[in-house]
Amino acid sequence: MTDTKKSATLTIGEDSYELPIFSPTAGPDVVDIRKLYGTAGVFTYDPGFTSTASCDSTITFIDGDAGILLHRGYPIDQLAEKSHYLEVCYLLMNGELPSAAELEDFETRITRHTMVHEQMHNFFRGFRRDAHPMATMVGVVGAMSAFYHDSTDINDEWQREVAAMRLIAKVPTIAAMAYKYSIGQPFVYPRNDLDYASNFLHMCFSVPAEEYHVDPILARAMDRIFTLHADHEQNASTSTVRLASSSGANPFACIAAGIACLWGPAHGGANQACLEMLGEIGSVDRIPEFIARAKDKNDPFRLMGFGHRVYKNFDPRATVMKKSADEVLDLLGIENNPKLQVAKELEHQALNDPYFAEKKLFPNVDFYSGIILEAMGFPTSMFTPIFALSRTVGWVSQWKEMIADPQNKIGRPRQLYLGETLRDYVDIEKR
Ligand code: CMC
């Protein structure tokens, strides 16, 4: 954080207050209002945090107007093309790309942590079979704090490191177990001879009755989906993790809070909602009807997979995802996939519609990801769990950064109170 020696002046009535301005390495300047209440006795008002920086961070940068997403300075399209998920995990957590030896060590450590405590199997069995896998994940990831006591002390740097490794390694196992449980198949143990994405596909799709070979092209597509979702700055679920951990809560509880937040259709749940919407539209001739509904102020319907709080030009992840969707469907020999056709035509018509152009609404990462996941054989209910497992490294990296920051203090927003002022209790017979 650079102090530019610039400042802003806030005038309230007769009084003026100087507010320092900080310049980031990239992005807009930031007005420091931390002492505002103490000196001027006023709060700021910013529901939805549209203009508020809640922390400083060195992990991820987004320029929403230019459609740029950088992890530790590296553009997402280069990482998706040239790197792979575990290398990106290392980068997010440590700040630099690893050497070959560092990467090998990191991969070995993650691989050695992929199994879950055997008693967790019993814990799963307490859920109804028709539970949404996200419901199961919120519960089971939170319950990790009951199984791994030796990595819950957030003041011990080593325990923090072990918790981070355990989360990145075990969340795919938990997601795959949630899936297997929901379809009544036996859990499949992780395999250390497989890479991270192949292992996940194997845990989801293999059965004891026969051999299952992971297609390397599908594994590559899976890995790319993980990479594209790895981190995204101070989004709702990441901010939830930070807020939960600001109280000193253990990392497993905090990541469970992040998973809960991600579940909503405005956030990670959009991939499931988007694919269901494409199915509901069904054919290209019905697109105008749905576009009209999305524009109708009296209809709550929104085009799922469209729009973003930060991206106002294009979502660079969506560009890679669209290309990947073509590749995967091609590989699987799925020609004329109706949902892909509807998606492409919907994108075309919406981008040429003044409503979407004026509001700067573009396809986001979730617009095409569901098509790929469905083609791979995942049910829609698994889309958001896959987002959650991919994002775990982002949550963990942001959590680690926050805990190590000496400025870290409990998050405690203020409010604009509009309720009743002091009044006397009225006995029930007099109401
Ligand atoms: N379809 C139709 N209109 C929309 C849409 C949409 N998908 N998104 C925004 N708008 C309109 C909205 O009605 C509002 O219009 P007006 O100014 O007339 O009231 C305007 O655009 C601004 O929308 P907003 O809701 O104030 O913007 P926001 O920054 O608070 O919301 C969003 C961002 C992503 C929640 C929203 O665009 C949305 O609900 N999109 C659909 C859900 C979705 O795809 N979410 C995934 C986001 S990317 C992955 C992730 O973050 O997890």
| pLDDT of res. 407 | 86
Average pLDDT of span 71-76: 98
Q: Tokens for 301?
A: 């319907």
Ligand 1 pocket test: which of 309, 310, 384, 390 has the largest number of ligand atoms within 8 Å of its C-beta?
309
| pLDDT of res. 327 | 84
Ligand 1 neighbour 359 (Cβ under 6 A): yes
| pLDDT of res. 60 | 98
Cα 88 to Cα 76: distance, rounded to the nearest angstrom = 10
Position 85 pLDDT exceeds 90: yes
Ligand 1 neighbour 363 (Cβ under 6 A): no
What are the residue numbers of the active site?
308, 366
The 10s digit of each residue's pLDDT in 203-222 is: 999 999 999 999 998 999 99
Are 182 and 133 in contact by the 8 Å Cβ rule? The answer is yes
The 10s digit of each residue's pLDDT in 132-141 is: 999 999 999 9
Q: Which residue has the higher pLDDT, 330 or 39?
A: 39
Chain centroid, CA 426 distance in Å? 47
Q: 358 falls in which pLDDT band (50, 70, 90)?
A: very high
Average pLDDT of span 174-201: 97
Residue nearest (by alpha carbon) to ligand 1 atom 22: 359
Residue nearest (by alpha carbon) to ligand 1 atom 4: 302
Position 2 pLDDT exceeds 60: no
| pLDDT above 90: percentage of residues in the chain | 87
Instruction: Give the chain's length.
Output: 431
Average pLDDT of span 25-29: 96
The 10s digit of each residue's pLDDT in 247-257 is: 999 999 999 99
Ligand 1 centroid vs 308 CA: distance in angstroms? 6
| pLDDT of res. 159 | 96
Position 144 pLDDT exceeds 90: yes
| pLDDT of res. 116 | 97
Residue nearest (by alpha carbon) to ligand 1 atom 25: 309
Which residue's structure tokens are 């792979």? 84
| Class of residue 3 by CB neighbours under 10 A (exposed 0-12, middle 13-18, buried 19+) | exposed
Q: Phi and psi of 30, rounded to 5°?
A: -125, 125
SS3 at position 306: strand
The 10s digit of each residue's pLDDT in 153-184 is: 999 999 999 999 999 999 999 999 999 999 99
Of 330, 112, 376, the C-alpha closest to 224 is 376
Report H helices in 234-315: 236-245, 251-262, 270-281, 287-295
Of 186, 223, 192, 228, the C-alpha closest to 206 is 186
Ligand 1 neighbour 394 (Cβ under 6 A): no
Q: Which atom of ligand 1 is nearest to the CA of 268?
A: 52
**DSSP code string of 172-237:** HHHHHHHHHHHTTPPP----TTS-HHHHHHHHHH-BTTB--PPPHHHHHHHHHHHHHTS--SS-HH
Cα 413 to Cα 240: distance, rounded to the nearest angstrom = 13
Are 302 and 346 in contact by the 8 Å Cβ rule? The answer is no
Average pLDDT of span 328-341: 84
- Work out the angle at residue 24's Cα, subtended by the Cα atoms of residues 19 and 26, and round it to the nearest 5 degrees: 140
Ligand 1 neighbour 290 (Cβ under 6 A): no
The 10s digit of each residue's pLDDT in 370-426 is: 889 998 999 999 999 999 999 999 999 999 999 999 888 999 999 999 999 999 999
Query: Which residues make Cβ contacts (< 8 Å) with residue 21, sequence separation at least 6?
Result: 4, 6, 7, 8, 29, 30, 31, 32
